[in-house]
Structure 1
Amino acid sequence: MKKRTLLLMLSATALLMACGKNEPAAPSAAAPAPATPAAITKIVVGLDDNFPPMGFRNEQNELVGFDIDMAREAAKRLNINAEFKPIDWNAKEAELNGKRVDVLWNGLTITEERKKNIAFTAPYMENHQIIIVTIASPIQTKADLRSKTVGAQEGSSAVGAIEKEAEVARSFKELKTFGDNITALMDLGTGRLDAVVVDEVVGRYYVAKRSSEFRVLDEHFGTEEYGVGTRLEDTELLKQLDETLASMKQDGTAARISTQWFGANVTK
């Protein structure tokens, strides 16, 4: 190649490179618009299936109960399917936040501690932690529980309510926990326990069935409120549930369901 031709080619290349440096950068592609949240079509309801009358299995092994009926009605109004999944209630927060269930709806007590990990609807029921003893028991007050063996369901609000009254709790001979309330009440009936602390809605349901064996003390371990629990980030689901529960209260549906299970309107 001739020297002159080579010089011309090098000059042209340099000119093109220089022009390239002065050209404005190509505009970057616009960021994609945030995706619209998918419509909710189904919720998996986590529950303790041994918690009558809130949620339990009948003689046909069907899931029934006050909270079951409330959840089904809410799902119907939201035009979504409700699937009911029995879980280990002591691991309820792990089940919810692990996305194995979408809501906790089974007599779930609203507490400040739980609010750190669970979002709650407005309360739909008020409850107490009552004390059940046998008909023949000499126990009349919480003070009489001194040196006695008291039972409660593991991971339940009953345990937390007892622990709040530290002086009373320290006076027990033992606080024995059980996987479910039925087992605790069975131990009470056979004399292995002196008293059982349990949700009022559950306790009175059993006492009504076995009124010749058990009675409820006038004193209790405090008042609490029930709410439906969702994951903290599921704000749209929480909003829809709140609106639906409010409409069920307003039109009398919640009162009707309550009367079917409790003989009175106990909703809040």
Structure 2
Amino acid sequence: TELVGFETDFAKEVCKQLNVKPVFQEINWDTKEIELNAKNIDCVWNGMTITDERKANMEITNPYMQNKQVMVVKGSNLQKYSDKITGANIVAEQGSAGEELATGNEFFKDAKFTAVDSQAKALLDVASGTSDIAIVDYVASIGSIGEGTDFTDLVVVESQQFAPEEYGIAFRKGSDMTQKVNEIISEMIKQGKLKEIGKKYKIDKLIVE
């Protein structure tokens, strides 16, 4: 199946300008650094949050998008989990910023946490009632839940705001690609091209200015 979405369109445009053909490869997110260093992949490009730890292990571009972690629940549970989540079953993608939040933030200390293999699986678990709360990227929640999606009864708990994050693209340490891609991203932001791609997926407001 062909991958579609903002990141795919963005990657295709950058590769076009680099005069290279992108080959999209799905990986286990938890082992992205290993895959990169083993040269199974050449870059990590899919809503990757920039952290100091990742900067120490990989070359990361300047940020291109803002993001935050959000709690997603069934609409019928919105009131219940708007200010406390004691005893709730929580899911997030393994190795993600969501898992980091669920296991390290004081707010979640009285909840039960389970890691799953993708953000889509986390949403599915909440929709099916296996779990109460999914912690996912705000970017991932747009267009994935609510009217016109497979998860019409899921909503974001707007009353809980967590620390903002920024997305970057990662290359192997010492790679000269980071600088080249930074220049292309900077030009795309300046020309409004990145916002244009974002608009298609309703995330143009999150693009870095």
Which of these residues, 107, 110, 114, is aligned with residue 171 of structure 1? 110
For 1:184 and 1:106, locate their aligned partners in 2 and report how far apart those are by CA, in whole Å. 17
Q: Which residue of 1 aligns with 2:128?
A: 190
SS at the partner of 1:113?
Answer: helix
Tell me the matched-pair count: 204
Show the 5 A alignment for 1:115-154. 115-137=55-77, 138-141=79-82, 143-154=83-94
1:106 aligns with 2:41: no
Q: TM-score, normalised by structure 1?
A: 0.72
Amino acid at match of 1:74: V
8 Å contact 1:67–1:105 — kept in the other structure? Answer: yes
Residue type matched to 1:91 in 2? T
Deviation digits for residues 107-160 of structure 1, max 9, x if unmatched? 00000111111111000000010000101114343x421111111011111111
CA shift digits 1:29-88 (9 cap, x unpaired): xxxxxxxxxxxxxxxxxxxxxxxxxxxxxxxx2111111111110111112222111111
Rounded to whole Å, the distance in 1 between the matches of 2:180 and 2:152 is: 44
Which of 1 and 2 has higher RCO (CA within 8 Å, sep 6+)? 2
Q: By how many angstroms is 1:170 displaced?
A: 1.8
Q: Secondary structure at the match of 1:147?
A: coil
The residue type paired with residue 130 of structure 2 is: R
Instruction: Quote how far apart the aligned CAs of 1:210 are.
Output: 5.0
Question: How far apart, CA to CA, are the structure 2 residues paired with 1:240 and 1:189?
Answer: 42
Could you tell me which residue of structure 2 aligns to residue 21 of structure 1? Answer: none
- Higher mean alpha-carbon deviation, 78-87 vs 104-113, is at 78-87
Say whether the 8 Å CA contact 1:146–1:168 is kept in structure 2: no
Report matched runs for 1:47-58 at 5 Å. Answer: none
Which residue does 1:200 correspond to in 2?
138
Q: Which has the larger radius of gyration?
A: 1
> What is the TM-score of this pair, normalised by structure 2?
0.92
2:174 pairs with 1:233: yes
Is 1:224 paired with 2:162? no
Matched with 1:6 is none
| Structure 1: segments with no counterpart, 5+ residues | 1-60
Q: Deviations over 1:148-201 (max 9, x none)?
A: 111101111111123331x223211x1011011222212111211111100001
Counterpart-to-counterpart distance in 2, 1:81 and 1:149 = 42
Instruction: Give the Cα separation in 2 of the matches to 1:175 and 1:114.
Output: 23
Deviation at 1:228, TM superposition (A): 0.4
**What is the RMSD of the two structures over their aligned residues, measured on CA atoms?**
1.5
Partner residue of 1:213 out of 149, 153, 157: 153
Query: Aligned pair in 2 of structure 1 residues 211, 153: CA closer, same or farther (>3 Å)?
Result: closer
Cα distance in 2 between the residues matched to 1:122 and 1:131 = 27
Structure 1 runs of 4+ off > 4 angstroms?
none
The letter for the 2-side match of 1:220 is: Q
Separation in 2, partners of 1:123, 1:213: 32
The corresponding residue for 1:66 is 6
Q: Which residue of 2 aligns with 1:28?
A: none
